[in-house]
Amino acid sequence: MKPVFKPTKIGQLTLKTPVVCASGTIGFLREAQGLVDFNYIGAAVTKTLTLEPRHGNQGVRIAEVECGMLNSIGLENPGIEAFLRETYPQIKRFSPVIIVSIAATSTGEFEKIGRLLCAEKSIQGAELNLSCPNVRGKIISQYPQEVYKAVKAFKEQFKRTTIAKLTPEVTDIIETASAAKKGGADALSLVNTFLGIKFDVKTRKPILRNIYGGYSGTGIKPLALYKVWRVAQNMGIDIIGGGGISNWQDAIEFFLAGANAVSVGTATFIYPDTVEQIVKGLYRYMKENKLRKVGKLEILG
């Protein structure tokens, strides 16, 4: 039986399934051709792009750890203009909604990127990566006022759906979530990775060249669920919930916590068909239990 869900709304975007591929885990979609069935993906978030090309961090950039992985890629990317000129024309025909992930270091850069994206009429959604944990410098989404300024600067240029991706590494995520909404964000992506370190006991040095990186995987699920639940309980805004999701049961928990859609990332490195299995599992669970709705998830057929 083919899963048929009520369309999922994220801002002004309409997703055919409630599962999103997280930024950095599906590249620019073309890398996943032949490995992933795009028909099961509601939206795919591109690898994060910056105004200028970046080579990323040097040395070891990924390390396997208990219940997940550490990454310290450093936002390696070709730059927004090269993406729009060379890559986007090749992938815009793909079936998932494409959400372009961007990062910047100043309000001026956010404005410029917003202007460039706005010129491409078919791009309907952008995710502001305000929380990359492995680039030297401050994490924007640890500072509410900086979140507000960044989102506002971008949104003034890009009038379409804007999603703010926030770090969980804050005292009270309501403060940064509220700042993003006040700045004009249509939705939130909760959460980005936590910070972590792994040491080599033989060399007695950090495994990652950058010392620390972003910790993702099943180990962060209870922590991410709490952040989603807390925001959902206190704010009226669309939420893409993610962090440690590897099966449909995990996804159900995020819907129960208040997410509109769920984001899957690290699990796809192990099993590329994870999204497909989650979508099928969600539908099967609801049919078997005679449920039309679980949280904000609803089926039609």
Which sequence positions are flagged as catalytic?
A: 132
The C-alpha angle with vertex 30 and arms to 24 and 36, in degrees rounded to 5, equals 80
Query: For residue 162, how many C-alpha atoms fall within 13 Å in the half-sphere facing its CB?
Result: 28
Pinpoint the alpha helices (H) of 173-271: 173-183, 221-234, 248-257, 267-270
* Closest CA relative to residue 141, chosen from 112, 178, 167: 167
> Which residues are within 8 A (CB) of 163 and not within 5 positions of it... i.e. 6 or more apart?
10, 11, 99, 125, 126, 127, 128, 185, 186, 187, 188, 189, 240
The two three-digit tokens of residue 290, written as one number: 């005679």
Query: For residue 243, how many C-alpha atoms fall within 13 Å in the half-sphere facing its CB?
Result: 29
